[in-house]
Amino acid sequence: MKDLSRRNFVKMSAVGAGMMALGMNADAAVMKEKDVKWDEDFDVVIIGSGFAGLAAGIKAAKRGLNVVIIEKMGRIGGNSVVNGGIFAVPNSELQKKNGVKDSKELFISDCVKAGLGLNHVELLEVLADRAVDTFNFTVENGAKYLDKLLLEGGHSVPRTYYTANTSGSGIVQPLMESFQKLPNATVKTRTKFDDFILDDSGRVVGVQVRENYRFDNKLFSDDRENKGGDKKFIKAKKGVVLASGGFCSDKFFRKLQDPRAVPEFDTTNHPGATAGALISAFKVGALPVQIGWIQYIPYKCPDEKGNGITSKFAAQASFRYGFSVDPKTGKRYMNELADRKIRADAMFKIIDAKANSYPINLCDSVAAAKLVPSDLENPMKSGVIKKFDTLDELAKEYKIPAEELKKTAERYNGFVKSGVDEDFGKPMKLTDGITVATPPFYAMRGAPKLHHTMGGVKINTKAQVLDINDEPIPGFYAAGEVTGGTHGASRLGSCAILDCLTFGMIAGENIG
């Protein structure tokens, strides 16, 4: 023990405590370089192929480093491909074009309010400072956006871009094409990360993976039960970037953190969003931050599985220009432009799943015309959004007391005209004077779904992973949803793309 430094003693204690909590043997938990034989070597190994992983890969490869991105699924992109394509960019050119006044301070204030003050503000400052740079990075690599500025709930001003194809794939696909054009860039799909490998000094020097891996979502959790694939050891001469995303689809680990997240509860995430890589990071001493905070997104519909196609209608039409009612009473029950946590919590209070009773989100034809046509037409074709000539017809369809619904509409329209919501404090100046009065009317059933895991490993402003002694673990970087602290208790909508891309870029710029 004489030769054991305080740093290593603290790290070993943290690892031991973490392993006991996870039911693992601490002595056997961490793989050492001296015990493996390398099959391949690269300068940089990146775990995950979403926004964060691709941004890190492009930045690192353009520095001349030999980079490999490993992805356990059969396709690239993770949750980023099914992301809604909304990208918060404070102080953007589109804001200036539309006369919107924004600032670093206002952006941070909005984030901290939504995050209940739990945010690590130094990370938010990086997002604000580099937002325009990050946006330009995507454009330089082929991403295209609509000439349309969106307002997301909880933001004080409109500051959100929308991809031209209305999906996160509008960023992922061009970034992947850019990455693959680089001569020193490799992508391995169906390659599952299992463990980090450390040298005797505690530096992360490589990873253990399984190639030819096939995810099986019939299993309770692929990370703990699926043993398929061929084991390989990949050396990372400059370091490893963890960009594996969140764990909303990990039915065991999510319920461990939030008992409300029972296995039957639906999520917007792709099936591979599990906690295996995060747990492995804890095994090598990464400091966990706010793991128990899980965000439920209020834009979703109980009549479609997973992410679905109704979000744009809820967020950009009914919540902004219309309102949401409890079908049992026909009355509003929340501020429809509050942050995600406030709205999801309000919806949970009136939902009666056993009775199949869910909130009804509605708006009129003027509001619906604000949408990209496909964002209304596609969910109408699938039947999850319905059109009605009168509010009486809408009330009959959803078993709402018709007279109460009409009174609610009349009262709400009065708030729009006066500019003050006396019931719930919705910022009426952001409704552009649009009432719920011009038929036809449109409606959907609403429900929150598990969407984003707020916690993860702690990083600094250089995207370095920190240990329990608040010092960087050598050779170890992370970015995106697998990190914690940036957004606190609840993330504002459209800030995920900004977060993932920015810290992915930073990891790629600093690694080595």
DSSP class of residue 315 equals: I
Whether a cis peptide bond, with omega within 30° of 0, leads into 440 is: yes
- Please check the confidence at residue 275 and state whether its pLDDT lies above 90: yes
Q: Classify 25 as helix, strand or coil.
A: coil
CA distances, 507 to each of 127, 208, 382, 388 (Å): 14, 21, 41, 51
How would you classify residue 117: left for phi > 0, otherwise alpha for psi between -120 and 50, otherwise beta?
left
Looking at residue 2, its pLDDT comes to 36
Q: Tokens standing for 304?
A: 């479609």
> What would the DSSP string read from start to end of 316-347?
IIIHHHSEEEETTTTEE-S-TTS-HHHHHHHH
d(CA 153, CA 148): 16
Q: Residue 113 in contact with residue 488, Cβ under 8 Å?
A: no
- Please check the confidence at residue 255 and state whether its pLDDT lies above 70: yes
**Mean pLDDT of the 33-60 span:** 98
Sign of CA dihedral 131, 134, 136, 142: negative
pLDDT, tens digit (0-9, with 9 covering 90-100), for 10-35: 444 444 444 434 444 444 479 999 99
pLDDT band at 224 (very low <50, low <70, confident <90, very high): low
Q: By mean pLDDT, which of 32-36, 145-149, 226-230, 370-374 is the weakest?
A: 226-230
- Please check the confidence at residue 431 and state whether its pLDDT lies above 50: yes
Give the active site residues.
Answer: 340
Q: pTM for the full model?
A: 0.88
Say which residue the tokens 């208790």 belong to.
489
**Mean pLDDT of the 235-243 span:** 98
**Mean pLDDT of the 84-90 span:** 96
**Mean pLDDT of the 296-315 span:** 93
Q: Residue 112 in contact with residue 123, Cβ under 8 Å?
A: no
pLDDT, tens digit (0-9, with 9 covering 90-100), for 154-208: 999 999 999 999 999 999 999 999 999 999 999 999 999 999 999 999 999 999 9
Print burial letters for 155-188: b (CB count within 10 Å at least 16), e (below 16): bbbbbbbbbebbbbbbbbbbbbebbeeeebbbbb
Q: By mean pLDDT, which of 299-303, 304-308, 407-411 is the weakest?
A: 304-308
**Mean pLDDT of the 214-241 span:** 81
Query: What is the amino acid identity at position 343?
Result: R
d(CA 15, CA 313): 46
- Please check the confidence at residue 221 and state whether its pLDDT lies above 80: no
Q: Residue 82 in contact with residue 167, Cβ under 8 Å?
A: yes
> What would the DSSP string read from start to end of 161-184?
EEBTTSSTHHHHHHHHHHHHHSTT
Q: Tokens standing for 323?
A: 């309102």
Q: At 410, phi and psi to the nearest 5?
A: -65, -45
Looking at residue 27, its pLDDT comes to 44
Average pLDDT, the chain: 92
Q: Residue 235 in contact with residue 42, Cβ under 8 Å?
A: yes
DSSP class of residue 459 equals: B
- Please check the confidence at residue 82 and state whether its pLDDT lies above 80: yes
pLDDT, tens digit (0-9, with 9 covering 90-100), for 156-171: 999 999 999 999 999 9
> What would the DSSP string read from start to end of 40-86?
EEEEEEEE--SHHHHHHHHHHHHTT--EEEE-SSSSS-HHHHHS--E
d(CA 293, CA 483): 12
Nearest residue to 130 via CA among 502, 500, 507: 502
Looking at residue 1, its pLDDT comes to 33
